Amino acid sequence: MNRIIDKKQLSKDVYQMKIEAPLIASERQAGQFIILQIDEDLGERIPLTIADADEAAGTITIIYQVVGKTTHELSQLEPGKYLPVFAGPLGKPTHIENFGRVVCVGGGIGTAPLHPITQALKNAGNHITTILGARTSELLILTEEMAKLSDSMIICTDDGSAGRKALVTEPLKEICSQDPKPDLVIAIGPPVMMKFCSLTTKPFGVKTLVSLNTIMVDGTGMCGGCRVNVGNEVKFVCVDGPEFDGHLVDFDNMMMRLNSYKEFEVHNHNCHLENQMSSLEKKL
């Protein structure tokens, strides 16, 4: 179990891995995530969304961006290696029904968790409009896969290197202004993108779901590190989420909390660079 079957680099810092995990592959539903560790004793637990699954083959697909020590080390592992800790599926599955017209907004790596949700919504008979955005064309992922699921698709980049030179909120606003309005918006991406998508749809009264990726330790409700303010309540992303009503999430607080260990990460990253340097020196 937990063998890496396949690895693919999707863009500069984004990798896709297929992992052998038959139990998770058969139980998982759209919207759920897993937690993994690279080292059983000293490793960190990181949550990653399940981007796809193949029940017959007993595999699931994860897509991640290299942002810290653990994701960097993960990206260095080759097929054939086993991950010592791989637990899931965690979190509440997305509530799927035929809502009618749904707009799926994916920002950067956020397209990975958006993919299985779009799949499930499509299967339930929804009309899908997809908006994918990234800083630059290289950072767009799963465009073909998403196009297959979508009735129409809009691509935006900050620098205009692909599709429209715009932020995803621009086409989102246009779609919300049309008649009929969308019945549901699902926005998954960087916190700031989800915040502004929610602010964009709010005046139109279009229900907007966001999927949060906060700091977690156990992922089973035990530590409360993932807590966010939703409306006037404190919610745990791992057991109450990861999806919440974007109009109620306190994004500012969430973004602040995501920075809790920034200093540690920087230190860790530097240590890592120093290690790399010294190992290079040894080789020379």
265 is a contact residue toward other proteins (CB under 8 A): yes
What does the alpha-carbon distance between residue 92 and residue 243 come to, in Å, rounded to a whole number?
A: 8
Q: Which of residues 58-77 bind other proteins (CB under 8 A)?
A: 69-70
**Binding test (CB under 8 A) with other proteins, winner from 16, 37, 118, 129:** 37
Q: Euclidean distance between the first and final Cα of the chain, in Å?
A: 38
What does the alpha-carbon distance between residue 162 and residue 241 come to, in Å, rounded to a whole number?
A: 33
Instruction: Compare residues 13 and 265 and give the one whose CB is closer to other proteins.
Output: 265
- The nearest distance, CB 152 to other proteins, in angstroms, is 35
What does the alpha-carbon distance between residue 170 and residue 154 come to, in Å, rounded to a whole number?
A: 11
Do 141 and 112 contact (CB within 8 A), yes or no? yes
246 is a contact residue toward other proteins (CB under 8 A): no
260 is a contact residue toward other proteins (CB under 8 A): yes
**Binding test (CB under 8 A) with other proteins, winner from 45, 81, 164, 269:** 45
Do 60 and 72 contact (CB within 8 A), yes or no? no
Instruction: Compare residues 94 and 129 and give the one whose CB is closer to other proteins.
Output: 94
**Binding test (CB under 8 A) with other proteins, winner from 98, 178, 259, 275:** 259
**Binding test (CB under 8 A) with other proteins, winner from 84, 100, 125, 205:** 84
Residue from 10, 114, 67, 42 nearest 215 by CA: 67
What does the alpha-carbon distance between residue 113 and residue 120 come to, in Å, rounded to a whole number?
A: 12
- H or E element at residue 143: helix 143-149
Q: Going residue by residue from 199 to 228, which x/- string records binding to other proteins, judged by CB under 8 A?
A: ------------------xx-xxxxxx-xx
- The nearest distance, CB 143 to other proteins, in angstroms, is 31
Instruction: Compare residues 151 and 274 and give the one whose CB is closer to other proteins.
Output: 274
Residue from 37, 35, 38, 59 nearest 48 by CA: 35
CA angle 42, 35, 73 (to 5 degrees): 50
Residue from 246, 123, 122 nearest 194 by CA: 246
- Judged by DSSP in three states, 225 sits in coil
Candidate segments 51-59, 85-93, 109-117, 153-161, binder of other proteins by CB under 8 A = 85-93
- H or E element at residue 127: strand 127-134
**Binding test (CB under 8 A) with other proteins, winner from 11, 75, 136, 268:** 268
Candidate segments 22-30, 51-59, 107-115, 170-178, binder of other proteins by CB under 8 A = 22-30
153 is a contact residue toward other proteins (CB under 8 A): no
Residues at the site binding other proteins, with contacts judged by CB under 8 A: 23-24, 27, 37-45, 69-70, 84-90, 92, 217-218, 220-225, 227-229, 234, 236, 239, 250, 253, 256-257, 259-261, 263-265, 268
